[in-house]
Amino acid sequence: MKKFTLISGALLMIFCYVGTLSMVAQTHDLKGNGEVFYSEDFDWGNPDDPKGWSLPDGYYLEDPDDLGYNWHWYPNDSLVAEWTFEPPFQSTSKENGHLCNFSNIYNNWVPLGDQIKLNNAIVFPTIDCSARTSVVVRYETHFMNYSSTSEQYLMVSNDAGVHWAYFDVGYGCKHKDRPEDKPAGIPAIFEANISEVAAGAPEVIIKFLWRGASMYFWLIDDFTLAEAFDNDLRLKHIALEWDDGDVDTKESFTYMMPKSQLGGSFTGFQSSVLNFGEFDQNDRFLELDISKNSQSVYNLQSESTWISPLILDSISLEGSYTPEEYGHYKIKYAWHQSEQDVSPENNMKEVFFHVTDSVYSRSDDEPELPWAYGYERYNDGFGEEYWNIDHFVGSIFPIYGDCEVESVSVFIMGGLADGLIDFRYTLFWVPPPEEDPDNEGAIPILYTESVELDSTMFNTWITLPFEKDGESEFLLADDLVYAGIQYNNYHDSKWDRRNKNIFIGVDMSVPLHDKVSIGFDHAGWNSGVFITKRNPMIHLNLNDHGNLIDGVDLSNNLSSLSQNYPNPFHQSTEISYKLSSAEKVLIEITDISGRTIMTIDEGQKSAGEHICHIQADKLEAGIYFYTLRSGQFEETKRMVIAE
């Protein structure tokens, strides 16, 4: 059985107690309306202070090992050190700076084996939560660690620091990971309900602790404490399996699969939900719906039950669905309850799956971030002997039916286009063990022409046809191949090979539980976690044109409007949308009575993804609706401005 697991939503933060904290009795005398009662935007810049900033009264720094590697204020500027080259942090209040621990500055130009690891914290002033029946912490953050064993904690005490609850806020990140796989400079939103240790307590102390890290940095901004909403379910993860009848195979999600490679079914549907609100949620159930070309073709529902606040629950649905025809499939998970949810948009998750004639792709077509294999595998030295020659990064494609390969497409996103980087696409065939007794590994069987990296290639799909030989292009069922980009970087400087190597798009929308990618460099084949946790945007294109038309209006089907984020929000939010073709775009915001509050003319927009920034600091708290109109496409979603 070939299985793949999809995981969505923010990482559930697990906390433990050190000592015994007081658990404060809670009542529901106050209505849960998301009211913010404490905020900090770290506007700490002070030109009169020799260091350029001042720590406000009530805050203090902890440095038990006397390292001097303390938290500090950092202006809205790039972070540049020996191993760090980061753009400015794009937080909501970026203009007035951020809270930061720039650990690379402390260990700048120190040999890797001699670097000192942090053990430093910043402690907030005492916060009175005695009048609060619930407490939700929220802040914007971005960070990158060098060590996979470093610890990042939000700590909470309700007894003047005698005992602490530790909330792991590291997002499960390992070596060179970023929170929620956000691109450099883009904030991730952390939220956790800390009511069990903070609500009703008159003396709550909060601190951030980072220890065990020697590089690179941790940024925090726009920290708030708010009351929870009464009714707020949140989908935390989804999972499903692809059953092809083979109990020995297991692989991750494939976004586009040619019809010639089909033969299995979707099954093993599962999802979990967290009650993030203050009250019990009744008649709660999970619905799964599969649609083809916008028409429902399969539906499952769980039995209804109730869920208490702060409880995480998981449900599995029995059944299977077998796609057989060309088409655009949507698998939608949605949680329902009898109460009116304040943010129903985070109760659901959609996954798309396309049956094509020729395109075989493990990734979707929307890059979450640009990524360079050379960022890790660059050769640490200066001069010609350290050039990157025939380095390769590709996707792993199991072949389930006989086919003929035609070309490869890769989404190129950047690099130093100065004539010293070139590339071609290569197809490797992996011999079965019985045909490879010496374990020599994959064999290159097809190449494309070599081309020089050019800036006109950036942020687009580049397709190159294979130079066929009349034999190697024909693959058989049960073959295994690697298809991807093979590049040369002739720069003498390791920094140009590390920081300015060829960047390709990476799809991080569906977390992986097995290896879908592979790399090759001066040390040989690389199947380490740095490469295998990525899903590079690579298409293996087959010579098959059987799907002349599948009867769906792609201009409407492939345009989309995303839920604004964050939601609920207080001052600003972002609305993302995708256009299948160039169109004029209009966004209209109305209140709950239907009255138009704001109209935003985005003008003519090209095909692809776009973001509209909404400033709502002059609008009253409440429920609003936003509608996007573009050509024949129109869609409306709800957003909430919190008090």
Tell me the pLDDT tens digit for each residue of 412-460: 999 999 999 999 999 999 999 899 888 888 999 999 999 999 999 999 9
pLDDT band at residue 268 under the 50/70/90 scheme:
confident
Strand partners, 426: 447, 484
Average pLDDT over residues 465-473: 96
CA distance 4 to 449: 35
DSSP label at residue 498? H
Closest CA to 515 of 144, 4, 149, 148: 4
Task: Tell me where in the chain the CATH 2.60.40.10 domain(s) lie.
Answer: 231-356
What per-residue confidence (pLDDT) applies to 555?
A: 41
CB 266 within 8 A of CB 318: no
| Predicted confidence (pLDDT) per residue in 611-624, tens digit | 898 888 778 888 88
* Contact residues for 137 (Cβ-Cβ < 8 A; gap 6+): 154, 190, 191, 192, 194, 206, 223, 224, 225
- Distance, in Å, from the CA atom of 566 to the CA atom of 180, rounded to the nearest integer, reads 14
CB 95 within 8 A of CB 191: no
Cα–Cα distance, 321 to 298 (Å, whole number):
7
Residue pLDDT, tens place only, 555-614: 445 678 888 888 888 778 889 888 877 788 999 999 877 889 999 999 888 777 788 988
Q: Contact 458/412 with Cβ under 8 angstroms?
A: yes
Place of tokens 């601190």: 207
> Alpha-carbon distance 631 to 605, whole Å?
11
CA–CA dist 207, 144 (Å, integer):
19
pLDDT reading at 112 higher than 50: yes
Non-local CB neighbours of 628 within 8 Å, separated by 6+ positions: 561, 575, 577, 585, 586, 587, 634, 635, 636
Instruction: Name the average pLDDT for the chain.
Output: 88
How many other C-beta atoms lie within 10 A of the C-beta of residue 248? Answer: 6
**Spatial distance between the Cα atoms of 182 and 159, rounded to a whole number of angstroms:** 36
CATH no. for 15-226: 2.60.120.200
| Per-residue model confidence (pLDDT) at position 548 | 62
- Size of the chain, expressed as the number of residues it contains: 643
Over the stretch 137-178, which tens digit does the pLDDT of each residue have? 999 999 999 887 899 999 999 998 999 999 999 998 888 889
Q: Which long-range contacts (CB under 8 A, 24 or more apart) does 381-385 make?
A: 381/494, 382/492, 382/493, 382/494, 383/492, 384/490, 384/492
The model's pLDDT over 80-94, given as tens digits with 9 standing for 90+, comes to 998 999 999 999 999
Highest mean pLDDT among 297-311, 339-353, 354-368: 297-311
| pLDDT at 553 > cutoff 90 | no
Euclidean distance between CA atoms 9 and 189, whole angstroms: 11
Please give the Cα distance from 564 to 234 (Å, whole number): 15
Residue 547 pLDDT > 80, yes or no?
no
- The closest of 300, 296, 374 to 334, measured between CA atoms, is 300
Q: What is the number of alpha carbons within 13 Å of residue 118 lying toward its C-beta? A: 33
Q: What is the pTM of this model?
A: 0.77
Beta bridge partners of 143: 218
Neighbour tally for 535: CB within 10 Å: 26
Cα separation, 536 vs 252, in Å, equals 13
In this structure, CATH architecture of domain 370-542: Sandwich (2.60)
Cα 271 from Cα 52, distance rounded (Å) = 49
* pLDDT at position 247: 65
- Average the pLDDT over 332-352 and give the result: 90
From the candidate CATH numbers 2.60.40.10, 3.40.50.300, 2.30.33.40, 2.30.30.90, the one assigned to the domain spanning 231-356: 2.60.40.10
Looking at the chain, which residues constitute the CATH 2.60.120.200 domain(s)?
15-226
**Residues whose CB is less than 8 angstroms from the CB of residue 491 and which lie 6 or more positions away in sequence, other chains included:** 387, 416, 420, 421, 497, 500
The verdict on domain 554-641 having CATH code 2.60.40.2550 is: yes
Q: Check residue 16 and give its pLDDT.
A: 40
Mapping DSSP to helix (H, G, I), strand (E, B) and coil, where does residue 216 land?
strand
DSSP state of 180: G
Q: How far apart are CA 385 and CA 497, in angstroms?
A: 13
Predicted pLDDT of residue 32: 56
pLDDT of residue 251: 61
Which residues are within 8 A (CB) of 620 and not within 5 positions of it... i.e. 6 or more apart? 641
Which pLDDT does position 4 carry in this prediction?
Answer: 35
Percent of the chain with pLDDT over 90: 59
- At residue 22, the pLDDT reads 43
Confidence of residue 532 (pLDDT cuts 50, 70, 90): confident
Residue 255, pLDDT above cutoff 60: yes
Burial (CB count <10 Å: 0-12, 13-18, 19+), residue 116 = middle
Structure tokens at 446: 């097809």
Please, where in the chain does CATH 2.60.40.2550 lie? 554-641
CB 640 within 8 A of CB 624: yes
Percent over 70 (pLDDT), the chain: 91
Q: Which of 85, 87, 86, 88 has the alpha carbon at shortest distance from 76?
A: 88
pLDDT tens string 198-252: 999 999 999 999 999 999 999 999 999 999 999 999 999 888 887 766 666 656 6
Distance CA 436, CA 636 (A): 57
634: closest CA among 559, 567, 572, 564? 559
